[in-house]
Amino acid sequence: MKFLTIAFLLNVTTLFASEYWQQFVQYKMNVKLDTAEHTIGGHSTITYVNNSPDTLYHFYLNLYANAFQEGTVKHREYLAGLGRASRGSRFKKGMKPYLSKYDINNFKINKKGVVLADSFQIDDTILSAKLKNGLAPNESMNINLNWVQHVGEFSERAGRIGEQYNFAQWYPRVVVYDENGWFNEPFHAEGEFYGE
């Protein structure tokens, strides 16, 4: 009886393990920190392999620094009293010193020389692009973009203090696609990062 139970558990575990998948993401970046203009930016080439069983018709990037502007989800939640009071106090005093945001241009997604997307929309901290014809399982695509992040004074995990620059989640990052679909949630007052 013990042998039968162990054999059953091994078979069930093996069955679930064979269904597991995870997307492949590789970043290549040429980046420059400009201390006179308080910016960091450059060019990113992202290779994305769709290891999921689904054809993808959208693509998303996290632009976490965009949360440090008036009117964002994070800003509104702090004003409503959500999140840590010590962090929220900076948002309540006014965003101007902490302002951070991305400028994105020359954006293009290619698959084997065919353009899948060359336009995008930004909503809060999420960049979204529609993929022409989609990205089928086991196919790969390359995302190219130029970006600049304007770096405000230190707030939470990023920003500048005098001549010191601190960065966390500082470059445009691919949103996770998992068994539940795209995790294209904006950056909230509470929570932790979940990205590729």
Which residue in 152, 163, 151, 131 sits closest to 31, CA to CA? 151
Q: What is the pLDDT at residue 12?
A: 45
Coil, helix or strand at residue 5: helix
Per-residue tokens: 125: 């901290």
**Least confidently predicted of 12-21, 53-62, 67-76, 156-165:** 12-21
Lowest mean pLDDT among 43-47, 97-101, 116-120: 97-101
Separation between Cα atoms, residue 188 and residue 73, nearest integer Å: 6
- The b/e string for 172-189 (b: 16+ C-beta within 10 A; e otherwise) is bbbbbbeeeeeebbbbbb
pLDDT tens digits along 114-135: 999 999 999 999 999 999 999 9
* pLDDT greater than 80 at residue 41: yes
Lowest mean pLDDT among 42-46, 93-97, 148-152: 93-97
The pTM for the full model equals: 0.85
Q: H or E element: which one contains 166?
A: strand 164-166
Model pLDDT, residue 48: 99
Buried b (16+ CB within 10 A) or exposed e, 150-167: bbbbbbbebbbeeeebee
Supply the pLDDT for residue 157.
Answer: 76
- Output 97 or 176, whichever has higher pLDDT: 176
| Mean pLDDT, residues 51-66 taken together | 96
How high is the pLDDT of residue 6? Answer: 53
C-alpha 64/C-alpha 125 separation (Å) is 5
Helix H or strand E encompassing 116 = strand 114-117
* Helix residue spans in 32-156 (DSSP H): 73-79, 85-93
User: What are the residue ranges spanned by the domains of the chain?
Assistant: 22-182
**Nearest-angstrom CA–CA distance, 18 and 20:** 6
The answer as to CATH 2.60.40 being correct for domain 22-182 is yes
- Confidence band for 68, pLDDT divided at 50, 70 and 90: confident
